[in-house]
Amino acid sequence: MEGSGNFVSDHFSTSAGKLEIVFIGHATLAMQVGSLKIHIDPQSRYTDYSRWEKADLILITHEHADHLDLKAISSLSGPQTRIITSKAVRDKIGMGEVLEHGKSLAQGPLSVTAFPAYNITRGREMYHPKARLDNGYILALGGLRVYVAGDTENIPEMASLESIDVAFLPMNQPFTMTVPQVAEAVRLFKPKIVYPYHYSSTDPRELVRLLEKDTYTEVRIRKM
């Protein structure tokens, strides 16, 4: 992706072309297939977005400052950019398209579906309350399905996830999941590849150890 500089990226083959996923930092990702450019929770603390091409889609999961950055959104936005988010975020910033849980939208070869994201552990509910309707996203593209969970725990709705090829699961207790909770989530819907992200000071290698016998999933660790 133009502007990505020295950020690490992985590539995946799809029937719509090669998908590049760029690992920017914490919960911030960028993706491109063909000319379609997608940014998820862009944060200007990690990169100067004025050096990047304008986005086609910007996906915002929720309103916390490490996910919602108006400077980054402004830098990436052009006349054709669509900002997709939750109602709480749209009400806060006064722009964007609300995508409700279970609803989908299409952009070229890409389909985006909103998925619930919230805390379930007693005493943690205030971080990401269920009633706020924060979003995770499922991106379907050329036969490949990518799940970006947002800030969530291993919620029961994850049992409904099907045929997930790539999953980004957050791992920084007490705000999102503990390492064992991430392992439980992986065992619940069995993605082919899981990237722990949003992990802050949590050691992602602990997840590798917990899942070493679960051969259906490959754990990939990237600097986030």
Give the per-residue pLDDT at 173.
85
Is residue 90 in a domain?
yes
Is residue 58 in a domain?
yes
Supply the range of the domain harboring residue 190: 9-219
CB 177 within 8 A of CB 153: yes
Give the per-residue pLDDT at 223.
87
| Structure tokens belonging to residue 180 | 């064992």
Is residue 4 in a domain?
no
Residue-by-residue pLDDT tens, the chain, 224 positions: 876 778 999 999 999 999 999 999 999 999 999 999 999 999 999 999 999 999 999 999 999 999 999 999 999 999 999 999 999 999 999 999 999 999 999 999 999 999 999 999 999 999 999 999 999 999 999 999 999 999 999 999 999 999 999 999 999 988 999 999 999 999 999 999 999 999 988 999 999 999 999 999 999 999 88
Q: How many domains does the chain have?
A: 1
Give the per-residue pLDDT at 160.
97
Q: What is the dihedral of CA 34, 40, 42, 47, to 10 degrees?
A: -50
CB 84 within 8 A of CB 96: yes
Give the per-residue pLDDT at 218.
97
Is residue 3 in a domain?
no
Give the per-residue pLDDT at 224.
85
CB 59 within 8 A of CB 84: yes
Is residue 81 in a domain?
yes
As a whole number of Å, the CA-based R_g of the chain is: 16
Give the per-residue pLDDT at 2.
73
Is residue 2 in a domain?
no
Euclidean distance between CA atoms 133 and 115, whole angstroms: 9
**Integer angstrom CA distances of residue 135 from 14, 59, 142:** 25, 9, 23
CATH number at residue 17: 3.60.15.10
Does the CA dihedral 220-53-43-155 come out positive or negative?
Answer: negative
